[in-house]
Amino acid sequence: MAKWTPKHEAPEPLEGPVVATITGGTIVWFVLFLAQLPFYGWFDDRGHTWWLWTCLAGGGLGLIGIWYVRKRDAAIKRDAALRAGAAARPAE
């Protein structure tokens, strides 16, 4: 069997409101954790406490994600400003 190779170029990556998306997802994870917390005994009786800890881990990792995408967004904006400044400068 021959190895599959694409016959066209990959599309450009989609850019959007990345910071808002990651922040929204992080909020959802924390809300899910808080919504399940009153039922800890029920989850514990059935051996499903991992559901709570998964939501808490998702929220914690989301905080790292928010930090990361904010830094990335700032770096992209900084680079765009530097390029715009270099383009505005007259050639010597």
Instruction: Yes or no: say if 59 and 33 are a contact pair by the CB < 8 Å rule.
Output: yes
Left, alpha or beta for 47 (phi > 0: left; psi -120 to 50: alpha)?
left
pLDDT tens figures, 23-44 = 999 999 999 999 999 999 999 9
Question: Phi and psi of 5, rounded to 5°?
Answer: -130, 140
pLDDT tens figures, 44-74 = 999 999 999 999 999 999 999 999 999 999 9
Check residue 49 and give its pLDDT.
96
Check residue 90 and give its pLDDT.
66
